[in-house]
Amino acid sequence: MITSVLVANRGEIACRIFRTCAEAGIRTVAVHSDPDADALHTRVADAAVRLPGATPADTYLRADLVVKAAIASGADAVHPGYGFLSENAGFARAVLDAGLVWIGPPPSAIEAMASKTRAKELMGLAPLAEVTPADLPVLVKAAAGGGGRGMRIVRRMEDLTAALESARAEATSAFGDGEVFVEPYVEDGRHVEVQILADTHGTVWALGTRDCSLQRRHQKVIEEAPAPGLSDDLRAQLHGLAVRAARAVDYVGAGTVEFLVSGTKAHFLEMNTRLQVEHPVTEAVFGIDLVAEQIRIAEGAPLPDEPPPARGHAVEARLYAEDPSRDWAPQTGTLHRLSVPASVRLDTGYESGDDIGVHYDPMLAKVVAYAPTRAEAVRKLAGALEKATIHGPTTNRDLLLNSLRHKEFTTARMDTGFYDRHLPDLTGPAPDPLAPLAAALADATGRSRFGGFRNLPSAPQTKRYEMAGEEHEVHYRHTRDGLEADGVRVLHADAGRVVLEVDGVQRKFEVSRYGDQVHVGGVALKSLPRFPDPTAQHAPGSLLAHMPGTVVRIADGLGEGSAVEAGQPLLWLEAMKMEHKITAPVTGTLAALNAVPGQQVTVGSLLAVVEPT
């Protein structure tokens, strides 16, 4: 019997595994980098071992250090979670060679499915050997790794060479393996996957389907189980192919087989030899704990001949610290408050007051709703997100809400091109127009020494706020009856709560302030100074870093004095596992280049200046 588990991971998945271990009476051990010394997964574990350094390459990807940590802490088993070393056959072997229990598939199965090209060969498929105009569009894809890294869609032959080079560079940086391949790109396809679970006695379960079509940059955003609208024949075909893939490599444990579905045809994508981020929706529908099953299987226990029946529907939304309206730029800073209604499941690696750093994925939490029907589950999840309190850096919460309520999603007609078609509509500024006024009134009462009473009306007061990228100016005055604003009746105002009446309708606002950042309900505002700072100006054509990160490369042949075209890539930043392209804002001359590969930059750092022609 396993008595102590080290989780070779961090954040949300480490906390989730620890929760199951605690319920089973199993001691837990965390590993942490220096930035994660006070992270939630480090705090909740029974024991923690430091991995010196900050970057994943120096810490969570060091198999030797993780194995040493397991031995030093007295753990007798290792769970890899997902990402990092979870699909590294060498790490699995090192764990087993150290006499520890590996809570995962055999190294041989990981190795067989680690390369997407070899996985396709096992399934009797092969990538394109040569690309012709008739094959377009195609997808350039990294053979190793996942998470959308090293993937490029190519629609024109003249773009193929650049896409191959870019994908190779990103794959080498992310996985240490620059091998890429090319396959047909299925337009308007759905991303459907099958959860499998296999024991050491020859039993393989296909635990239904999941739809993960809503993706940004090939990374999933909203997932659900079961995948809606599949025929019985197609569902049976997917289950059969998934079981076939598992048996082909003598699979053991939890894994996922992924497909692209177009019409009634299923195209095999890959097999992920680990637990998936979206596993909670399958747990909800089948009423099981997949991590608990992984542990039982690692202890040698057999599965029943048949899985439990599926009931109801579950939907999961990934809450990210990112700005979808600014090319999904990751955000950092203090998460002042995180709270969601108890009616939904919350898997997170953060608590109120924690800092969101630059080194890791920007996912804050997974919010999961379960209900008897799909429509009820979607409504329940949207309602919970709307009522959630998320104070701190910008998140994708509004995007998630708008996505869940979009007609294409509610009628289950979505596909992987959903955000390509609808992103501007889903991220357009539509915050509450009364939010700046509520912020100003709360600030006025919170800062006034003697309250809002005045024997005579005062001169109008003015405050400025930035909301959804736009500046808003509000006016109010103090009177003998309290605060007053044109067209709005102020029923109550204090530092934390404002009640307004507009056209006979009463509106209530909860207000929180953190320095110059103000949250009014779900709306984030920035308090602006009365007069703009004249020193905060930059020359026209200046390119500023809109996120903290690392400069990973500069465009070939680029230097000061180079002629550039508007939209031309100049350099690439990497932040939180994502690569961001910085392009020339205008056609002109590169007057200054202040960035070099490997340089760490902060928000607002001047990267380059392009003088317009």
Cα–Cα distance measured from residue 211 to residue 213, given in angstroms and rounded to the nearest whole number: 6
Strands (E), 133-274: 138-142, 151-154, 180-184, 190-198, 204-216, 219-225, 253-262, 265-272
Place of tokens 């009473």: 453
Nearest to 257 by CA among 209, 216, 290: 209
Nearest to 314 by CA among 376, 239, 224: 224
Q: Is residue 397 within 8 Å of 325, Cβ to Cβ?
A: no
Residue 79 is which amino acid? H
Q: What is the DSSP letter of 561?
A: T
**Residue showing tokens 């109008």:** 460
List all residues 6 or more positions away from 450 whose beta carbon is below 8 Å from its beta carbon.
none
Amino acid at 556: D
Compute the distance between CA of residue 488 and CA of residue 482 in angstroms, rounded to an integer.
13
Cβ–Cβ under 8 Å, residues 496 and 509: no
Which are the catalytic amino acids? 274
The token duo for 251 is 């699979």
Instruction: Give 462's contacts (C-beta < 8 A, 6+ positions apart).
Output: 473, 474, 475, 530
Amino acid found at 126: A
- Asked if 252 and 302 count as a contact pair (C-beta separation under 8 A), the reply is no
Q: Look-up: residue for tokens 């990497």?
A: 574
Q: How far apart are CA 424 and CA 38, in angstroms?
A: 38
Under 8 Å between Cβ of 368 and 64: no
Q: In the chain, what are the helix, strand and coil shares in percent, each to the nearest 5?
A: 25, 35, 40
How many whole angstroms separate alpha carbon 463 and alpha carbon 528?
Answer: 8
Instruction: Provide the strand spans (E) within 341-486.
Output: 345-348, 355-356, 363-371, 389-391, 461-467, 470-479, 482-484
